[in-house]
Amino acid sequence: MIPIKNIGVTTLLLHLLFFILTIVTVPCQPLRNKIVRKDRHVDEVSRNMNVKKMSKSNVEDIHPLLLISFDGFRWDYLNKTDTPSFDEIINNGVTATQGLKNAFVTKTFPNHYTLVTGLWEESHGIVANSMYDPVLNQTFEPSNASAVTDPAWFNVGAEPIWVTNQRQNNNGKSGVCMWVGGGAPINGILPTYYIPYDGSQKNETKVDMIVDWFTRENPINLGLLYFDQPDAYGHRYGPDSPQVASMISGLDEVVGYLLKQLKDKNVLDNINLIITSDHGFTNTPHDLLINLDDFIDASTYKITASSPIANIWPHEEGKLEEIYSNLTKGAQESRKFQVYKKEEIPEYFHYTHNRRISPIVAVANDTYSFTSKDQPYPKEELGNHGYDNRLQDMHPFFVAMGPSFKKNFSIETFNNVDLYPLLCHLLNLKPAPNNGSLDIVSQLLVDQTDTPSTLTLTTYVVSFIIIVLVAGVYIITALYYQNIWKNMHHQQYMAVKPNDESPSKSAVTRGTASQGSAAIHQSNTEDSDTSPLLIDHNAVVP
């Protein structure tokens, strides 16, 4: 307890002001800004995007970054066989034990673009592997070499990580090997180095190329590398086949080769390595087919997007209700698929606000597949993806290792839109508007001193108001008790002050010495209960 008479009001106020300023200026408390932005080309898009930045305290903390994707690598594929190279990464780094929660639709092109932009598909505009744009009046196909480098499809407001890297960092150099969107100029910016997709190129050749980019005289600080397996085997043989398990072993050898090359070049200990995928896989038996011809007339519509998704575009606007009604009836009777009007698609899919999404969307249930006379389901396929992204089998794996990551650490899962802000943090870049967050992925990092606060703007303001109110009560209470002490002190002082003209003085003078002493002693005894006045700072303020 502190005697209040030892505390000056000015000193009290200065200490209190310093305390409040300390609270409200605590570093690393960025707020989660809600940003609503509209694309220039995808004019129907509307979204809330959380932009968060974790500051770096030292330039030496920034390390080169390599992002690798193995297409169609399901979250549990590492359990199918021995994977010593992947195990080395996990033991010396981090992993998501249940994989990533990817974006709907769970297809290759959309999710690869989500990984590098942090945007849901409705926001970045790549809404399927095959898609139709009613404004361009064109259909996008992955096999069309000119389409995959056409900015009309990709430059619709989204900013991939290589553009962020080169736009903000004067020394930023990016190498993109076969990644979706890498060949399309975004606001006139292309990667420093780019290699288009080539399915005939050996895996080791691609590894040699990316390692060379990191180790040449003017090295890249960001590399992206894509492999088309085990996706191809998952489609052909099914995800639970021995062929897929064998492929996983082969890819583990590729990772081992990469680690050796990086080690031989003396860069392994200085590079942050992230390996993940776009989607998982499920079995698709041929006896679980849904023939759309049983429900709707093929002459009344066209389909874009491949099974298990059917983006249905009626040829005539007047046919929309008829097609939707017939499909709804078929879905209810068969219980094999779901059908939605565009505006009724569940919010958790984040798959509504884009002109490239069709007026009617049908989604097959797990393991079922759509087929029709005009678009038959391939007989040679025993596995597929594209289903509801809440299904565990649709989730891809995630492992990472490097100086910025913890060792032998795991979390359960996180959204794949969170990867882009993580990449930006690792490169000390300010993220473009995105749907991701660092709240969960920051747990993977070694340095937690710069982790962002989870406070929202509302809770931050409320907390500040509470602090001010408590401080105000403290000041008022302190002043109240100080005033009491002053009054008591004044009364005590007046009781013993020599004054020839005062009645008390005359009374004391006329009395005997013993009477005067008794009077003074009595006065001091009465004051002893109230002076000095003490405040217990642990007590509850009334």
List active site positions. Answer: 108
Q: Using CA atoms in the order 533, 538, 540, 542, what is the torsion angle rounded to 10 degrees?
A: 20
Rounded Cα gap, residues 123 and 45, in angstroms: 6
Would you state the structure tokens that stand for residue 153, as one six-digit string? Answer: 């499809």
Closest CA to 438 of 427, 455, 449, 454: 454
CB contact at 8 A, 119 and 353:
no
- State phi, psi for 422 to the nearest 5 degrees: -65, -45
Residue 461: half-sphere exposure toward Cβ, Cα within 13 Å: 4
- The CA–CA distances, whole Å, from 480 to 6, 476, 484 equal 15, 6, 6
Q: Could you give the CA distance from residue 173 to residue 221 in angstroms, rounded to a whole number?
A: 6
Written as one letter, the residue type at 210 is I
Print burial letters for 34-49: b (CB count within 10 Å at least 16), e (below 16): eeeeebebbeebebeb
Alpha-helical segments (H) within 448-512: 457-496, 503-510
Q: CA distances (Å), 46 to each of 38, 49, 335, 488, in order? A: 6, 10, 32, 68
CA–CA gap between residue 195 and residue 148 (Å, rounded): 13
Which pair of structure tokens corresponds to residue 490?
Answer: 């004044």
> Beta strand pairing status for 93-96 and 409-411?
parallel
In contact, 320 and 329? CB cutoff 8 Å:
no
Q: State the maximum Cα–Cα separation within the chain, in Å, rounded to a whole number.
A: 127
Helix H, strand E, coil C: the string for 336-391 is CEEEEEHHHCCHHHCCCCCCCCCCEEEEECCCCEEECCCCCCCCCCCEECCCCCCC
DSSP string, 50-109: EE--PPPS-GGG---EEEEEETT-BTTGGGSS--HHHHHHHHTEEEETT-EE-PSS--HH
Provide the residue type at 114 as one letter.
T
